[in-house]
Amino acid sequence: MKEKILDLFTRDALETARANNTYRTMRLMESPESSRVKIRMPNGASQEQILLASNSYLDLANVGELKQAMAQAVLEWGTGSGGARLTTGNKTIHQELEEFIAKFKGEESAITFNTGYMANVGTISALCGKNDFIFSDELNHASIIDGIRLSRAKCFVYKHNDMADLKRVILAAKAEFSTREMHAENGTATAFRGLIVTDAVFSMDGDLANLPELLRLAKESECLLMIDEAHATGVLGKTGRGLAEHYGCAHADVTVGTLSKAVAAEGGFVAGKQQLIDFLRNRSRSFIFTTAMAPAVAAAASNNLRYIDTHPERVQSLRENVKFFCEALQHESVNVVQSPSAIVPIVIGDEARALKISAALQDAGILIPAIRYPTVAKGQARLRASLMATHTHEQLQTAASVISQTIKSTN
Ligand SMILES: Cc1ncc(COP(=O)(O)O)c(C=O)c1O
């Protein structure tokens, strides 16, 4: 009887996923994350692979002095934080981390969350309620979408990076707001509240949001602007400070980021005006109702971010590697554009074919996962390559040749 009830909830979804080639399993890695890793193959054997799939863009997880510093923090602070930030969990190391994030990002203040996912969900749902309007790029990350759903605000999705479409939906929302106000029963006027939200680097395409134009539109339409710099921090701009440094323009009102990708620790953050941070500390449920991140993790995030600050050459090596790899692929007639970030999508289209190519690449010692629906749209399955500052040109050249041959020979 019990199995039957579980079937009701789960069986159809699993069968559909298997039939559509979207059923998910997990790869097992037997070594730390670096440009070369050891993978447990389906037959149980270990195989060395060139890793072209990591979010650890600067490869900081393997820097000796940073590993030592984290180990030292465990010895000093113990293994866990013991409480929520607003009860007993708030240690000096958490505060130091937030102060450094604010400094690194050139903002008044910052607040950390346990993950970037929680930062997005907790920020959007705290800022917006059911009477508000949110304007969201159609390719935004799932954590932004979940934050919008939780907020119950009216959401207008605009076409990817299409500023004319964004303007259109803002006007539509303002018209809807005026009608609503006209029919309001209690007669007290409320202000229009709109939030524009976008990834800074789009995680499956590697392209960038048009920050200068977004700033202009946000100002013109009196909306708040929020950007998610998950794949931008440590990557974009001369010193890895993100999208504003890349464009040489002003910052968004709300900058979200993660400490788990280029920073190679774990956690999320929001940086902005002191008033914004005070508000989130008081209202963001994913900040309030959870245990503070382990102090050693906060220490690692803090140390690693300081390392990025003093080693801008790592950011430059990453950029050079991306340029070299895109050119090598183009030279091998693989259809890619020069990526402005660390993410290089190689679009295949068909889900089954993308899986087949990814499996063949793994057999040949190159690890690039196939990204499929629902992470990307149906028929847009792709190999999502992401680069590290420590890949050698030799590794990248080998990978480009093997990718080209594998795509040609897999139909
Ligand atoms: C654009 C974007 N935002 C947020 C997140 C969530 O960050 P975290 O892994 O720290 O939860 C991710 C990836 O995981 C992401 O790609």
Reported as a single tens digit per residue, the pLDDT across 158-195 is 999 999 999 999 999 999 999 988 888 766 668 999 99
- Directed axis angle between helix 142-151 and helix 116-127, to 10°? 30
Task: Give me 4's structure tokens.
Answer: 């039957």
Contacts for 72 with CB less than 8 Å, ≥ 6 apart: none
Are residues 53 and 384 in contact, defined by beta-carbon separation less than 8 angstroms? yes
Q: How many residues does the chain have?
A: 411
Tell me which of 3 and 287 has the higher pLDDT. Answer: 287
pLDDT digits (tens, 9 = 90+) for 198-237: 999 999 999 999 999 999 999 999 999 999 999 999 999 9
What is the mean predicted confidence (pLDDT) over 329-335?
Answer: 96
Predicted pLDDT at 173:
98
Tokens encoding 153: 């605000």
State the pLDDT at residue 87. 98
Assess whether 231 carries a catalytic annotation.
yes
Which pLDDT value is given to residue 249?
Answer: 98
* Mean pLDDT over each residue of the chain, to the nearest integer: 96
CA of 268 to the centre of ligand 1 (A): 8
- CA 208 – ligand 1 centroid, Å: 15
User: How would you classify the pairing of strands 254-258 and 224-228?
Assistant: parallel
Question: Residue 239 pLDDT more than 70?
Answer: yes
Q: Give the pLDDT mean for 239-259.
A: 98
Q: What is the pLDDT of residue 1?
A: 66
Q: What is the pLDDT of residue 3?
A: 83
Query: Considering 143, 203, 221, 260, which one is annotated as catalytic?
Result: 203
pLDDT, one tens digit per residue, over 96-149 is 999 999 999 999 999 999 999 999 999 999 999 999 999 999 999 999 999 999
Q: Output Rg (C-alpha) for the chain, integer angstroms.
A: 22
Which residue spans within 8-130 are E strands per DSSP? 28-29, 36-40, 46-51, 109-113
- pLDDT surpassing 80 at residue 2: no
Is the shortest distance between the CB of 258 and ligand 1 below 6 Å?
yes
Choose the catalytic residue: 91, 141, 251, 261. Answer: 261
The structure tokens listed for 368 are: 């690039």
Residue 183 annotated among the catalytic residues of the structure: no
Q: Whose CA is closest to atom 8 on ligand 1?
A: 116
Does the structure show a pLDDT above 80 at 314? yes
**Average pLDDT, stretch 378-406?**
97
CA of 116 to the centre of ligand 1 (A): 5
Q: Is 384 in the pocket of ligand 1 (CB under 6 A)?
A: no
Q: For strand 109-113 and strand 154-158, is the pairing parallel, antiparallel, or unpaired?
A: unpaired
Pairing state between β 268-272 and 254-258:
antiparallel
pLDDT at 187: 64
Instruction: For residue range 40-86, list pLDDT tens digits in order.
Output: 988 899 999 999 999 999 999 999 999 999 999 999 999 999 999 99
4 is catalytic: no
* pLDDT score of 119: 98
Give the range among 23-37, 197-211, 277-291 with minimum mean pLDDT: 23-37
Q: How far apart are CA 94 and CA 315, in angstroms?
A: 25
pTM of the model: 0.96
